[in-house]
Amino acid sequence: MQYSGPYRFHLLLTGTEDKRAFSLKQETNKKSVFHTAVTVKSQPKIYVLKSAGEIVYVGYASQSIGTRLGQGMRANGLKGYHGYKWKQLEEVELIVFVFEKIFSEIAEEKHSYKSYVEAIEAELVYIVRRENGLWPRWQNEIHFNNERRKEVIESAEDMYHQVLLS
């Protein structure tokens, strides 16, 4: 499977406990923005959050990464979803892998492709546990399945090694 990345960003988290927000940390005087690849809608992404060198969360998104992060940061439990557990941190590194295929309108094909990318997400979370002895600190859930097992494991191993490079 073809994917691009990793795209790396440093996020600053601000706000009160029930109303958190994020911004991109500026490395220069230029305004920092998300790379276009991570903002494409209907395109699967796996994203990893690190804090102080520790992988604390692995997630899946098909919408723009900014939209997905915003949903998790603003959630306060009023509709049952409390949002990200890691949103209490002050700064995190965001690492995003973008899969090349954009979801089609064919439901069966979309479901199969989503299952495939979610299998990579789950395998990546498992690799973190295998290598560190613990699940990522703020991991809430993962979607297990056996889609294209050999290919999934190879992709997850490759991503894990790329995440460690930072």
Segments forming the whole domain that contains residue 18: 3-164
Is the model's pLDDT at 83 over the cut of 60?
yes
Backbone phi, psi, residue 28, to 5°: -135, -170
Residues 114-165: tens digit of each pLDDT: 899 999 999 999 999 999 999 999 998 888 888 889 999 999 999 999 998 8
Is the model's pLDDT at 74 over the cut of 90?
no
d(CA 139, CA 153) in angstroms, rounded, equals 19
Count up the domains in the chain and report the number: 1
d(CA 142, CA 148) in angstroms, rounded, equals 17
86-90, 108-112, 121-125: the lowest-pLDDT one: 108-112
Is the model's pLDDT at 109 over the cut of 80?
no
Residue 11's Cα: distance from chain center in Å? 13
Q: pLDDT-based confidence at 64, cuts 50/70/90?
A: very high
Collapsing DSSP states into helix, strand and coil, what is residue 98? strand
CB 58, CB 127: distance < 8 Å: no
How confident is the model at residue 25, as a pLDDT? 78
pTM of the model: 0.90
Residues 3-49: tens digit of each pLDDT: 999 999 999 999 887 778 888 876 655 556 787 889 988 899 999 99
